A = this chain, B = another copy of it.
Amino acid sequence: MTTAYKLGGRVWIEGPEGTFLGYGRVTLLERIRQHGSISAAARSMQMSYLRAWKLVDSMNRQGRQPLVEKSTGGRGGGGARLTETGERSIELFWSAYRDFQQFLQQRSGPLQG
């Protein structure tokens, strides 16, 4: 048996200012849903709060409506939660992502180098 090559790749959804949704961004959204705050979500995936905040900000600015609703102060210091748009965005990306993975799988077969 000889070495097998395979097709690799990445996909993302592009918005007005570049990347809108990608693997990392959507994973972050899911963590926010799970943990209820940007900071807890960031911690849970070894991401700095600053980076997470910027990603959320970028997504909120590019979405037709905000994907994440944030509140500051109050009991627990505040938090963040997904909007309906946020939920739909997650689905939107994973759907395209799944199709892409299938494409990669199928297209890896005919790679006779």
Contacts and interface: CB of A to CB of B under 8 A. Distances in A.
Given A3-B16, A3-B64, 14 more contacts: A2-B64, A3-B15, A5-B15, A8-B13, A8-B19, A9-B11, A9-B100, A13-B113, A92-B111, A92-B113, A99-B103, A99-B107, A100-B103, A103-B103
Interface residues of A, number: 31
Interface in A8-23: 8-16, 19-20
Interface of A: 2-3, 5-16, 19-20, 63-64, 85, 88-89, 92, 96, 99-100, 103-104, 107, 111-113
Contact of A9 (B5, B10, B113): B10
Contacts of A111: 13, 92, 96
Contacts of A15: 3, 5
